[in-house]
Amino acid sequence: MNCLVGYSGMRYMDSIGAEAAAHNKVETAAPSSFDPASKELDDELTIVVSDAQASFSATSWCITAAATLLGGVLAYFVSGYALQPLRSFAAQVESVRPDNLADTKISEDVPSELRRCSASFNDMISRLDEGLSAQRQFTGNAAHELRTPLALMQAQVELFCAEHPDADADTASLLRLLQEQTERMTHMTKTLLEMSELRSVPCNDAIDLAPMIEEVLTDLAPLAEQKGITLVSKGDAQTIGCDTLIYRLLFNLVENAIRYSAPSSTVQIGARAEGDRVLLRVRDQGPGIPKQYQTSIFQPFFRVDRSRSRAYGGVGLGLALVWEIAALHGGSIEVEESSKRGTTMLVILPARAPGSLK
């Protein structure tokens, strides 16, 4: 820009000099000088200088605007190219989830300024993956080891109850308590074992959700009839995943909705395809979930109200298992809306591509 402005100024100065020389008449080889009293010459030179000044000003502004625009465009593309590794790094960090740690390591082929950062990030991912794998293995081993003694305890309690039907009230109450708690612990260990084995399950089945939803509602009809709850389903969609796990996801959500809905109310479950994803909604007419707990309910063993949760049954792992299944399928679950009139759970799953086969 400086070079162009300087060149423009020199050109207009030369034009002023040429105009002044044209008005400087030479007489009989005697050099003439500028005469301040010559009004005609002053007027003409004033016009020449004024025109040159206006032209120089306009040219300078055009040069400045063009240089600024060109510099901005070049800076945009150069900075975009320079920041591309950083954007890629940020995108990979944002994509980290517990189920894809092994696939989120950053390539070492990055600028030297980010090489150390990428190496540290890869080391962190490796440590997290090892820690989560150890945690899952411990959970699975513990659940597996607990399953046998719990089954033995449950069988012995049931056998004792069958052999002593005339037990006094205190003994009968104690036996019912033991039976309830052993059943609860058996269900807990079964769920923990399922959660620890999720990563080894293939998720490439083509699933029609409408028949599966009807199957879930049929299986849960006796539980709904106990409270006079009406089960309603609508919509249809297709997704890709594990048939058994998607069934468990739907079963847990509907069972949870039935347990917490008011008697003689309605539980609705709907499926709808929207672009490349499937939206599953389960609506109940329960007491609702406080806003501050709407993300915590997917944590294992979390309870909004422990006394009320005990009364409704369950071990605090149903929604945690649903979250794990949704994440394993590349989806998500959230509380879409909740109030004193009920709660709507939204599950997002990938849609089945047209023409895909099971």
- Specify the pLDDT at position 346: 94
Q: Does domain 202-350 have CATH number 3.40.50.300?
A: no
pLDDT confidence bin for 224, thresholds 50/70/90: very high
- Specify the pLDDT at position 344: 94
Q: Residue 353 gets which letter from DSSP?
A: P
| Residue 59 to residues 13, 49, 66, 67, 138, Cα–Cα distance (Å) | 14, 15, 11, 12, 77
- Segment 46-75 shows an average pLDDT of 78
pLDDT tens column, 255-289 = 999 988 999 999 999 999 988 899 999 999 988 88
The top-scoring range by mean pLDDT among 67-76, 98-107, 156-165, 210-219 is 210-219
Q: Which residues pair with 350 in a beta bridge?
A: 277
- Specify the pLDDT at position 46: 64
- Segment 335-339 shows an average pLDDT of 91
- Segment 190-211 shows an average pLDDT of 78
The one-letter amino acid code at 162 reads A
- Give the percent of the chain with pLDDT over 70: 77
The CATH code for residues 112-196 is 1.10.287.130
Q: Any residues with CB less than 8 A from the CB of 24 and at least 6 apart, and which?
A: 32, 34
pLDDT tens column, 238-249 = 998 888 889 889
Structure tokens at 23: 């008005």
Q: Which residues pair with 250 in a beta bridge?
A: none
Which bin fits 228, alpha (ψ -120 to 50), beta or left (φ > 0)? left
**H runs (alpha helix) in the chain:** 2-23, 39-94, 112-163, 169-196, 209-227, 243-260, 306-312, 318-328
Which residue in 289, 263, 185, 269 sits closest to 219, CA to CA?
269
**CA gap 270, 235 in Å, rounded:** 6
Q: Is 183 exposed, middle or buried (0-12, 13-18, 19+ CB in 10 A)?
A: middle
Q: What is the mean pLDDT of the chain?
A: 78
**CA gap 69, 82 in Å, rounded:** 20
Dmax of the chain from CA atoms? 150
- Segment 26-49 shows an average pLDDT of 51
Lowest mean pLDDT across 43-57, 210-224, 311-325, 340-354? 43-57
Q: Residue 31 gets which letter from DSSP?
A: P
pLDDT tens column, 127-154 = 887 877 777 777 777 777 787 888 888 8
- Segment 192-206 shows an average pLDDT of 74
- Specify the pLDDT at position 26: 41
